[in-house]
Amino acid sequence: MQKRGRPSTKPPKLRDGFYIELRSQGSSGAIKIIRKNMQEVEKAIDQYSKNKVVKYLGQVKDGQWVDGDNKGQKV
């Protein structure tokens, strides 16, 4: 089945929450995972760090990074 219509040009927005990045060992591709609070982030880091490379990206609130490497920047 073929997609119809014009492709979107607007970049996706990140929802409010805490983000971590997961990638496989030696891989260049990564995925972002959102959690609602810091306790869930710590639990996810413990869970995924056994077989993935995990990086804490920071918290997003109202379209701005609150902490992490991108602190103060827009999403």
What pLDDT sits at residue 3? 76
More confidently predicted of 4 and 17: 17
Beta carbons of 18 and 41 less than 8 angstroms apart = yes
- Give me the amino acid identity at 57: L
What pLDDT sits at residue 16? 95
1 pLDDT higher than 80: no
Q: Which two tokens stand for residue 42?
A: 């710590």
Name, in order, each residue with C-beta under 8 angstroms of 44's C-beta and a sequence gap of 6 or more: 20, 33, 35, 54
The string of pLDDT tens digits covering residues 9-61 is: 888 788 999 999 999 998 889 999 999 999 999 999 999 999 999 999 999 99
Return the H-helix or E-strand segment holding 64: strand 64-65
Three-state secondary-structure class, residue 8:
coil
Q: Which two tokens stand for residue 7?
A: 């492709």
